[in-house]
Amino acid sequence: DTAVSQTPKYLVTQMGNDKSIKCEQNLGHDTMYWYKQDSKKFLKIMFSYNNKELIINETVPNRFSPKSPDKAHLNLHINSLELGDSAVYFCASSHSRLRGLGETQYFGPGTRLLVL
Amino acid sequence: AQSVTQLGSHVSVSEGALVLLRCNYSSSVPPYLFWYVQYPNQGLQLLLKYTTGATLVKGINGFEAEFKKSETSFHLTKPSAHMSDAAEYFCAVSRTAGNKLTFGGGTRVLVKP
């Protein structure tokens, strides 16, 4: 049973294209996140949703648009892809902070995006 | 604002030797601290975390870390390295709205036979 799953695992595309990455969690969590890991392995949060509501939106270009159809899914759509978007994108989930403090985030396997 | 500094982007240890990975944080409020491990081409897995209470925290795979408030540190140790410990290790802090994790730059551990 995969707790946090992402599709696709690999994505190779041309500059200017639009692509989506899907994330699903079966842990019963109500908070989900997107993180970006660059080529130097640096990890930075992009977005967070709690119960389908956007609660964190870091300084991410508006070409990136997250969508949460329900609390088990958080998708990431990227318009007009650029070379600099090449990275590994990780989805994560956790219980809400309202449940307790320091909730553990569980990460998906990542989507490796390469923009040519 | 919170920040995390991991000293040493690469650490090489011999199998059976002590593993010590250093993490210092900056936080205006009492932090929650985490260590995650990332094996090649995989996602991140939680090793251990500190929220409140006992400052020496034990995690999976024989790792432990000690929260030292006076030194703003949360160093990770394992008494005896195993070949399977070769991976990237990330220290992270949270205590802000939305529970976002702020990561250090990571430390790659190489284990020599």
Tell me the residue ranges of DSSP E strands in chain B.
3-7, 10-14, 19-26, 32-38, 44-50, 56-58, 64-68, 73-78, 87-94, 102-103, 107-112
Residue A51: per-residue pLDDT: 84
pLDDT tens digits, A71-110:
899 999 999 999 999 999 999 999 876 655 678 999 999 9
Q: What is the mean pLDDT of residues B70-83?
A: 96
| Percentage of chain A lying above the pLDDT 90 cut | 77
End-to-end alpha carbon distance in chain B: 41
Residue B62: per-residue pLDDT: 96
Q: Which residues of A touch B (CB under 8 A)?
A: 4, 31, 33, 35, 40-45, 48, 50, 55-56, 90, 92, 94, 96-97, 101-110
Give A52's pLDDT tier (boundaries 50, 70, 90).
confident
Take residue A37 and report the two structure tokens written for it.
């890991």
Q: Do A109 and B88 touch (CB under 8 A)?
A: no
Give B1's pLDDT tier (boundaries 50, 70, 90).
confident
Q: Per DSSP, what are the bridge partners of residue A70?
A: A73
pLDDT tens digits, B7-65:
999 999 999 999 999 999 998 777 899 999 999 989 999 999 998 888 999 999 999 99
Q: Do A104 and B103 touch (CB under 8 A)?
A: no
Q: Do B99 and A90 touch (CB under 8 A)?
A: no
Quick one: which of B56, B54, B51 has its CA closest to B94?
B51
Residue B18: per-residue pLDDT: 97
Position with higher pLDDT, B67 vs A97: B67
